[in-house]
């Protein structure tokens, strides 16, 4: 019992006086309230300013539907492509040593530091009428810029690093021992990946995919440059929101925007659940006696 008393006395030196604590807490919560809670609440309040009926009216419009469809199509192409890339990049970077690895990792991160507007511009310069292969594309009647392929490409660019950068540190931390054991025991490369690597990285994978998806569905700047803003054809949900807003259809704009805000909330919830489950499995794995194979941990949790 005397032990706990010493601990408590030591802790007194590592905490602030109560008034300092409350002041810091109040300022931090006020900041969060002003900058995060209010903007989120404003989206839904503005959407429902004229009641549920008006909000649903905006969502039932054919232009809104085609925007939703295009956004879903775009995300369903961009996310799987970046998923395959993310796994390949993480496997090569995390499991092997080779020259230029640090440089490659930096290049994978590069799209995050490029302005979305510049990201859109580079595709216009490549595929646009005056671009590199624009004339050839025109001759063959292929439209990329100001059409759906351009939107998909720009979306792939801005969401490029999400999954890879989630997986690389995770796979690096896990090392290669388990995979080597699988190979030595006679598993093929694919079997090793499916039964050893994938169960180990699944939460990182889910985490990367939901963040990638949220950005893919919500991207505005890059898509705005390559879309051409053709109503009902090349408008994604964020672009549709912009058009409605600029036409002073505030309620409609916020009604459509609240779809995206809901997506953001769902993303945050899934993200939190994934974090908790991952932590639990880490703890379960750490609690196992060392001689038991770690691969069993995800199955038991």
Round the CA-based radius of gyration of the chain to a whole number and report it. Answer: 25
CB atoms within 10 A of CB 186: 7
Could you give the residue ranges of the DSSP H alpha helices within 160-291? 162-174, 177-184, 189-192, 198-218, 221-227, 237-246, 250-287
Query: Measuring CA to CA, which residue among 263, 266, 157 is closest to residue 218?
Result: 263
Structure tokens at 159: 């969401």
Distance CA 226, CA 184 (A): 50
Taking the least distance from each CB to another protein, the nearer of 266 and 288 is 266
Taking the least distance from each CB to another protein, the nearer of 270 and 294 is 270
Closest approach of another protein to the CB of residue 211, in Å: 7
Closest approach of another protein to the CB of residue 183, in Å: 5
Closest approach of another protein to the CB of residue 127, in Å: 9
Closest approach of another protein to the CB of residue 74, in Å: 13
Distance CA 133, CA 259 (A): 37
Taking the least distance from each CB to another protein, the nearer of 123 and 297 is 123
Structure tokens at 277: 């489950």
Taking the least distance from each CB to another protein, the nearer of 76 and 188 is 188
DSSP state for residue 296 in the 8-state scheme: G
Taking the least distance from each CB to another protein, the nearer of 179 and 281 is 179
Closest approach of another protein to the CB of residue 142, in Å: 16
């Amino acid at each position: 019992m005397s032990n706990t008393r010493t601990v408590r006395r030591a802790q007194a030196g590592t905490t602030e006086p109560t008034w300092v604590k409350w002041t810091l807490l109040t300022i931090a919560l006020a900041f969060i309230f002003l900058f995060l809670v209010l903007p989120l609440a404003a989206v839904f309040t503005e959407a429902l300013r004229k009641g549920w009926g008006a909000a649903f009216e905006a969502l039932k419009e054919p232009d809104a539907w085609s925007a939703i469809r295009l956004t879903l199509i775009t995300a369903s192409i961009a996310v799987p492509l970046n998923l395959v890339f993310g796994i390949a990049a993480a496997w090569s970077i995390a499991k092997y040593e080779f020259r230029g690895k640090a440089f490659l990792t930096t290049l994978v991160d590069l799209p995050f530091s490029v302005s979305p507007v510049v990201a859109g511009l580079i595709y216009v310069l490549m595929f646009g009428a005056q671009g590199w292969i624009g004339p050839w594309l025109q001759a063959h009647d292929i439209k990329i810029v100001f059409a759906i392929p351009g939107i998909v490409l720009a979306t792939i660019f801005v969401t490029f690093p999400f999954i890879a950068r989630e997986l690389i540190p995770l796979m690096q931390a896990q090392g290669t021992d388990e995979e080597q054991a699988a190979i030595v025991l006679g598993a093929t490369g694919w079997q090793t990946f499916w039964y050893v690597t994938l169960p180990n990285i699944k939460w990182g994978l889910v985490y990367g995919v939901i963040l990638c998806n949220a950005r893919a569905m919500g991207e505005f700047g890059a898509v705005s440059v390559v879309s051409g803003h053709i109503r009902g054809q090349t408008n994604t949900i964020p672009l549709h929101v912009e058009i409605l807003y600029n036409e002073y259809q505030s309620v409609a704009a916020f009604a459509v925007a609240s779809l995206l805000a809901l997506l953001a909330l769902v993303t945050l919830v899934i993200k939190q659940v994934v974090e908790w489950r991952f932590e639990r499995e880490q703890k379960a794995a750490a609690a196992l006696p060392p001689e038991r194979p770690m691969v069993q941990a995800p199955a038991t949790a």
